[in-house]
Chain A
Amino acid sequence: MEKFEVLQSTAVPLPIENIDTDQIIPARFLKATSREGFGENLFRDWRFDNAGQPKADFVMNTGRYSGKILVAGKNFGCGSSREHAAWAIYDAGFKVVISSFFADIFKGNALNNGLLPLQVSDEVLARLLAQIEQDPQTTLVVNLVNQELEVPVWEEKISFEIDAYKKECLINGYDDIDFLVNQKEAIEQYESNRPWAY
Chain B
Amino acid sequence: MAKTLLDKIWDAHVVKSIPGGLDVFYIDRHLIHEVTSPQAFDEIEARGLPLFRKEQIVATADHNVPTKNQHLPIQEPLSRFQVDKLTENCAKHNIELYGLGHEKQGIVHVMGPELGITQPGMTIVCGDSHTSTHGAFGAIAFGIGTSQVAQVMASQCLLLSKPKSMRITVDGDVRPGVTAKDIILYVISKLGTGGATGYFVEYAGSAFRNLSMEGRMTVCNMSIEMGARGGMIAPDQTTFDYLNGREFAPKGERWDQAVAYWSTLFTEEGAAFDKELTFDAADIAPMITFGTNPGMGMAIDALIPTEVPVSEQASYSKSLQYMGFQPGESLLGKEIQYVFIGSCTNSRIEDLRQVARFVQGKKKAPHVEAIIVPGSKQVEKQAIEEGIDKVLAEAGFELREPGCSACLAMNEDKIPAGAYCVSTSNRNFEGRQGPGSRTLLASPLVAAITAVEGKIVDITQYLN
Contacts and interface: CB of A to CB of B under 8 A. Distances in A.
Interface range for B: 35 or more
B427 A22 contact: yes
Interface in B1-27: 12, 15-16, 18, 20-22, 24, 26
B315 interface: yes
Contacts of A103: 194, 197, 227
Contacts of A154: none
B458 interface: no
A180 B49 CA distance: 12
Contacts, number: 196
Interface string B405-432: 0001110000001000000000101111
Contacts of A75: 193-194, 197, 227
A166 B377 CA distance: 42
B244 interface: no
A157 B20 CA distance: 25
A181 B430 contact: no
Contact of B129 (A27, A28, A80, A86): A80
Interface stretch (B35-43, B96-104, B204-212): B35-43
A186 B127 CA distance: 25
Interface string B43-87: 100010100100000000001100000000000001101100100
A137 to B, nearest CB: 24
Contact of A50 (B128, B258, B408, B417): B417
Interface string A77-88: 011111110100
Interface stretch (B148-156, B343-351, B354-362, B381-389): B148-156
Nearest to A169: B159
Interface in A65-121: 73-75, 78-84, 86, 101-105, 108-109, 112-113
B202 to A, nearest CB: 17
Given A20-B293, A33-B85, A78 B193 contact: yes
A179 B49 CA distance: 13
Contacts of A81: 36, 127-129, 143-145
B122 interface: yes
B22 A163 contact: yes
B300 interface: no
Contacts of B431: 22-23, 26, 45
Contacts of A78: 193-194, 197, 227, 293
Interface in A1-60: 15-18, 20, 22-23, 26-28, 30-35, 45, 50
A34 B45 CA distance: 13
B307 interface: no
Contact of B119 (A26, A176, A183, A198): A198
Contacts of A176: 147-148, 151, 158-159
A136 B144 CA distance: 36
A175 interface: yes
B28 interface: yes
A73 B49 CA distance: 39
B408 A27 contact: yes
Output the residue of A86, A113, A176 with the most chain B CB within 10 A. A176
A195 interface: yes
Contacts of A30: 35, 63, 410
B37 to A, nearest CB: 9
A187 B15 contact: yes
Interface range for A: 35 or more
A153 interface: no
A17 B431 CA distance: 17
Interface string A166-187: 0000000001110111011011
B148 A108 contact: yes
A78 B18 CA distance: 28
B314 interface: yes
Contacts of A122: 311
Contact of B318 (A16, A84, A126, A190): A16
A31 B410 contact: yes
Contacts of A165: 18, 20, 22, 159
A32 B224 CA distance: 25
A112 B225 CA distance: 23
A102 B295 CA distance: 16
A116 to B, nearest CB: 15
B244 to A, nearest CB: 16
Contact of A101 (B16, B121, B159, B197): B197
B408 to A, nearest CB: 4
B182 to A, nearest CB: 21
B43 A177 contact: yes
B198 interface: yes
Given A81-B145, A165-B22, 14 more contacts: A20-B293, A30-B410, A31-B35, A33-B82, A73-B315, A81-B143, A83-B36, A105-B144, A109-B145, A112-B145, A163-B20, A186-B24, A187-B157, A198-B29
Interface of A: 15-18, 20, 22-23, 26-28, 30-35, 45, 50, 73-75, 78-84, 86, 101-105, 108-109, 112-113, 122, 126, 163-165, 175-177, 179-181, 183-184, 186-187, 190-191, 195-196, 198
11 contacts: A16-B314, A28-B409, A31-B64, A33-B42, A50-B435, A75-B193, A83-B146, A105-B129, A176-B147, A177-B47, A187-B156
Which are the 7 A-B pairs with shortest beta-carbon distances?
A: A33-B38, A109-B145, A83-B145, A112-B147, A31-B78, A180-B155, A75-B194
